[in-house]
Amino acid sequence: MTRTSLQAAIQGSVLGPGDPGYDEARAVWNGMIDRRPRYVVQCAEAADVVAAVRYGADLGLEIGVRCGGHGIVGHAVPDDGLMIDLRPMGGVTVDPLTRRARVQGGALLGALDRASQAHGLATTAGNVSHTGVGGLTLGGGMGWLARRHGLACDNVASFELVTASGDLIHVDAESHPDLDWALRGGGGNFGIVTAFDFDLHPEPGQAISAELLFPLEDGRAAAAMRRWRDLSVDAPREATFTATISGTMVALGLVWVGDPVVGRTRVSELADRLTGAAEPAGRAIDPMTYLRLQTREDDVEGHHWRRYWKGHYFSELGDAVIDALLARDGADLPDVSLQAYGGAIADVADEETAFSRRDAAFEFVAASRWSSPDDDERRMSAARRYAGTMDRFASGAYVNVLGDDGEAGIRRAYTPGKLARLTAIKDAHDPGNLFHLNQNIRPSAG
């Protein structure tokens, strides 16, 4: 099949270097990624994805898959390869009676949130609205509702999947139990999901954010962070405790999603207990809609910045971990975020999904962003160095936060038993490793 015949066979568009829209299509979230695919196939329907996969396989091209384009290392954009762009397939249809959403493979989280909230419903959907539903969900899918309703992958009823052999199949626990298990945390290793069916939950659409600021230069931050840690252990499931370390300040607080009347009382009470005897440098309690919560980080997490990050899971946040987190000496240090897990995430037995480390108490990410290529090595080195000081405390890693970690990262993201099972499923469904531009689970043969 030639490019001309591929274009004739699909409803979408095939773009090459020099074509209008090509440079926009290959630009992704991380501004460091500047690769030039041989072709970009902008798919309008599942049949287009089937045709693109078969075309790429026939020509022996590397295949990258783009939805939101938020992957930190830019796997979606293969040099001289085939980029399958799912963004034209961005629709979301909600059935309020069954509380079910049909989400196309190129949809962004904002589309899912808006369509669901129009009916007073929601499901776990990340923290940044221009993130792709597909990448988030296939890696697990943490979000503000996860402590109440589980990870995004826990809320999928079924998948529509294009396999490495170019077949379009329906995947659920009855039809393909091995793939159904693997797609819940195993990433893009097993095919391209062209549609998800999500279970939705009644949600009032209200949220409350609380944040207290403490300076790093005195003892208040360490003492407050210990109180924050202790309060998080017994926090209501509506509350997700968060912390940010940036520059000379530590921001400690929580996000409440649930009954706003109960929330006002509980959030104020928790903020008072977090304050303790030391007055913070700043205090803000901000009621907002759930949709505003879901978009409030969109600008900070916007496109075109050059980015690098490292992440860990912590099974506990002992005093030694807190002291190490706050020991920030040196230039160009990354910003740090911590987000509490537990609740409904840990309710799911670990063996039920490919997603691992459900006993994690906190997710840690050290992230840098900058604008000049001249700063690349300096900023990346500082992030590696700082995150490396946390290695001794880590209990694993979230696959969606892995970057240039390679196979060592895969071993951190999955338990040995999980990795063995994932490898067996890879052997069965993609033995040639066609889908390897991801946090790759290699088949036994390669």
C-alpha span between 197 and 199 (Å, rounded): 7
Asked if 142 contacts 151 with a C-beta cutoff of 8 angstroms, the reply is yes
pLDDT at 47: 98
pLDDT at 270: 96
Q: Do 237 and 386 share a domain, yes or no?
A: yes
Q: Do 230 and 198 share a domain, yes or no?
A: no
If you search the block for the tokens 């990433």, which residue do you land on?
A: 187
Query: Which tens digits make up the pLDDT trace of 325-383?
Result: 999 887 899 999 999 999 999 999 999 999 999 999 999 999 999 999 999 999 999 99
Q: Do 79 and 106 share a domain, yes or no?
A: no
Domain boundary among 178, 203, 228: 203
Query: Which tens digits make up the pLDDT trace of 65-86?
Result: 999 999 999 999 999 999 999 9
C-alpha span between 164 and 50 (Å, rounded): 9
pLDDT at 256: 98
| Band of residue 63 on the pLDDT scale cut at 50, 70, 90 | very high
Query: Which tens digits make up the pLDDT trace of 153-189?
Result: 999 999 999 999 999 999 999 999 999 999 999 999 9
Residue 370: both structure tokens together: 């900058």
Query: Which tens digits make up the pLDDT trace of 417-440?
Result: 999 999 999 999 999 999 999 999
Q: Do 167 and 257 share a domain, yes or no?
A: no
pLDDT at 294: 98
Query: Per the domain annotation, does 418 fall within a domain?
Result: no
Asked if 246 contacts 351 with a C-beta cutoff of 8 angstroms, the reply is no
Is residue 341 helix, strand or coil?
coil
Q: Do 253 and 268 share a domain, yes or no?
A: yes
Predicted confidence (pLDDT) at residue 218 exceeds the cutoff of 80? no
C-alpha span between 412 and 391 (Å, rounded): 11
| Band of residue 1 on the pLDDT scale cut at 50, 70, 90 | confident
- Using alpha carbons, select from 148, 317, 294 the residue that is nearest to residue 232: 317
Q: Do 76 and 104 share a domain, yes or no?
A: no
Q: Do 179 and 236 share a domain, yes or no?
A: no
List the CATH number of the domain containing 117: 3.30.465.10
Average pLDDT over residues 233-248: 96
Query: Per the domain annotation, does 430 fall within a domain?
Result: no
pLDDT at 219: 81
Query: Per the domain annotation, does 127 fall within a domain?
Result: yes
Q: Which domain holds residue 153?
A: 92-203
| Band of residue 386 on the pLDDT scale cut at 50, 70, 90 | very high
C-alpha span between 139 and 43 (Å, rounded): 22
Q: Do 313 and 228 share a domain, yes or no?
A: yes
Instruction: Kindly state the DSSP code that residue 404 receives in the 8-state scheme.
Output: S
Predicted confidence (pLDDT) at residue 300 exceeds the cutoff of 90? no
| Mean pLDDT score across all residues of the chain | 96
Is residue 347 helix, strand or coil?
helix
Query: Per the domain annotation, does 386 fall within a domain?
Result: yes
Task: Give the max Cα distance, the chain.
Answer: 72
List the CATH number of the domain containing 289: 3.40.462.20
Query: Per the domain annotation, does 128 fall within a domain?
Result: yes
Predicted confidence (pLDDT) at residue 228 exceeds the cutoff of 90? yes
Show Cβ contacts of residue 383 under 8 Å, excluding neighbours closer than 6 positions.
308, 309, 310, 333, 334, 366, 367, 368
- Using alpha carbons, select from 41, 46, 45, 33 the residue that is nearest to residue 5: 41
pLDDT at 2: 87
Query: Per the domain annotation, does 421 fall within a domain?
Result: no
Domain boundary among 39, 63, 85: 85
Q: Do 230 and 379 share a domain, yes or no?
A: yes
Number of domains observed in the structure of the chain = 3
Show Cβ contacts of residue 266 under 8 Å, excluding neighbours closer than 6 positions.
236, 238, 239, 256
pLDDT at 207: 98
Sign of CA dihedral 285, 288, 290, 294: negative
Is residue 117 helix, strand or coil?
helix
Q: Do 104 and 184 share a domain, yes or no?
A: yes
Q: Do 194 and 252 share a domain, yes or no?
A: no
Domain boundary among 203, 228, 250: 203
- Using alpha carbons, select from 200, 210, 122 the residue that is nearest to residue 156: 200
Predicted confidence (pLDDT) at residue 277 exceeds the cutoff of 80? no
Q: Do 180 and 288 share a domain, yes or no?
A: no
Rg (CA), the chain: 22
- Using alpha carbons, select from 26, 2, 155 the residue that is nearest to residue 87: 26
Show Cβ contacts of residue 260 under 8 Å, excluding neighbours closer than 6 positions.
204, 206, 208, 287
Query: Which tens digits make up the pLDDT trace of 17-41?
Result: 999 999 999 999 999 999 999 999 9
Tell me the backbone φ, ψ of residue 20, rounded to 5 degrees.
Answer: -60, 135
Average pLDDT over residues 205-210: 97
Query: Per the domain annotation, does 164 fall within a domain?
Result: yes
Predicted confidence (pLDDT) at residue 195 exceeds the cutoff of 80? yes
Query: Per the domain annotation, does 427 fall within a domain?
Result: no
Q: How many residues does the chain have?
A: 446
N-to-C CA span, the chain: 27
Asked if 368 contacts 308 with a C-beta cutoff of 8 angstroms, the reply is yes
Predicted confidence (pLDDT) at residue 289 exceeds the cutoff of 80? yes
| Band of residue 445 on the pLDDT scale cut at 50, 70, 90 | confident
User: What DSSP letter does each residue of 222-249 carry, written as one string?
Assistant: HHHHHHHHHHHHT--TTEEEEEEEETTE
List the CATH number of the domain containing 51: 3.30.43.10
Report the DSSP pairing between strands 82-85 and 39-42.
parallel
